[in-house]
Amino acid sequence: MATQARHDKLRKEMRPPPIELDEAPDPVKLLETAEDAPGLPEMNIFPMDWRTETPKLMQIYDSARDPGWSPNKLPWDTLKPEELTADQRYAISYWFALLAVFDASGPAVFSRAVIHTYETHEEDPIRKAFFSVARDEMNHEEVCGRAINIVTPGGPVNHEIETPLGELARNNVQWLFHNGARYWNAYKNSLHKYPVPMLFTSFLFGEVASSTLFHGMYQETKIPVLKEAFRRIGQDEARHLGICLTVLQKVLPDMSADDKEMVTKQIRAGFIFLSGVLFEPPEEFWELPSTFKPTHRLLEKKAREAGLGILSLEEREANWKKAVLQMKGFIEPHGIEFPALPEIGVDGKTTAFDPNNLIPVF
Ligand SMILES: [Fe+2]
Ligand SMILES: [Fe+2]
């Protein structure tokens, strides 16, 4: 009680004396002496504002606040390593490592994109939409990590391997990571070069690819936890696709001719990169040893045996072509030429692959 009284006394002494009304500063006079704040540098997150130019984007963000699922609540006990052969386990681990090259880069890629949208002062819902994509991608990355750790604890690289196919799988993964690292460098170095609207066309391609892939995997997979994961990830990817389409509908009509030409190049680059998981890695960009493809095919067969819904090469080609044509149908009416993609028999403008334009991601 004594302490309380002392505190009250102290507080009273510290309080400034009340301002007399006639002493209160006159705002008009105060304004006359106000100094302007220094100007702000370019590409800074300040000044801030919270404008909404595309209300539909805010609605999508609202629907993404709760994605409706969580990787830690999936029935992971239905993935039973003890019921699989060693090679089947390596094959499942391998496939998720391959997927991770695309999906596990998502959190880092979109986190950088979030910062970029702040620096380029995009409208509030664009910043928030990217943030929600980064959060979703963290869930997708977690699924890859959990699946890998169940079938190959410590994997895909730091796991004790007992068979030749397992060794080959690890070697393939190391090559995939090598290419993933090259992708990451290209992404980091090119992000700041492009206006945000153009980035969205690249992201769109990634989302078209991923929603196609996960839909197919969901239908074919027999292992309950992975089937459910693919269904949920597919839903997220469809939402990301919706975000990209909404932004592009707004910005494409005003895009300059030069930017449109750049989009054509980026689509070609995106096709080469994304073919690594949607189809087969093309010679361009992908630096892979001669053992890569035969190993990849053996592992796919093993993973399929174990219940993972990997589509056949023919099905993948058909699916990928369908997704690409969907992309073409969206892009062309806006006066953007689609690149020729002879690898899957799609006509268009002959476009050289430019490794500095690698932006797409799941
Ligand atoms: Fe995505
Ligand atoms: Fe994803």
Residue 258, in any domain of the structure = yes
How far does residue 103's CA lie from ligand 2's centre (Å)?
5
Residue 17, in any domain of the structure = no
Q: How confident is the model at residue 362 (pLDDT cuts 50, 70, 90)?
A: low
How far does residue 27's CA lie from ligand 2's centre (Å)?
54
How far does residue 114's CA lie from ligand 1's centre (Å)?
14
Where in the sequence is the domain holding 120, given as residue range(s)? Answer: 84-357
Residue 276, in any domain of the structure = yes
How far does residue 210's CA lie from ligand 1's centre (Å)?
7
Residue 25, in any domain of the structure = no
Ligand of minimum distance to the alpha carbon of 140: 2
pLDDT in tens, 248-294: 888 888 889 988 888 888 888 888 888 888 888 888 888 999 999 99
Question: Which CATH number is 176's domain given?
Answer: 1.10.620
How far does residue 153's CA lie from ligand 1's centre (Å)?
26
In this prediction, residue 228 carries a pLDDT of: 98
pLDDT in tens, 212-262: 889 999 999 999 999 999 999 999 999 998 998 898 888 888 889 988 888
Tell me which residues have their CB within 5 A of the ion that is ligand 2. 103, 106, 137, 140, 362
Residue 62, in any domain of the structure = no
Residue 14, in any domain of the structure = no
Half-sphere exposure of 259 (CA within 13 A, CB side): 18
How far does residue 357's CA lie from ligand 2's centre (Å)?
20
In this prediction, residue 277 carries a pLDDT of: 86
For the cut 90, the answer to whether the pLDDT of residue 190 exceeds it is no
Residue 139, in any domain of the structure = yes
How far does residue 85's CA lie from ligand 1's centre (Å)?
32
The two tokens of residue 189 are: 């170095």
How far does residue 299's CA lie from ligand 2's centre (Å)?
22
Ligand of minimum distance to the alpha carbon of 239: 1
Report yes or no on whether pTM surpasses 0.95: no
Residue 56, in any domain of the structure = no
> Where does residue 94 fall: left (phi above 0), alpha (psi -120 to 50 degrees), or beta otherwise?
alpha
How many domains, in total, are found in the chain? 1
For 45-95, give the DSSP string. Answer: SPSP----S-HHHHHHHHHHSS-S--GGGS-GGGS-GGGS-HHHHHHHHHH
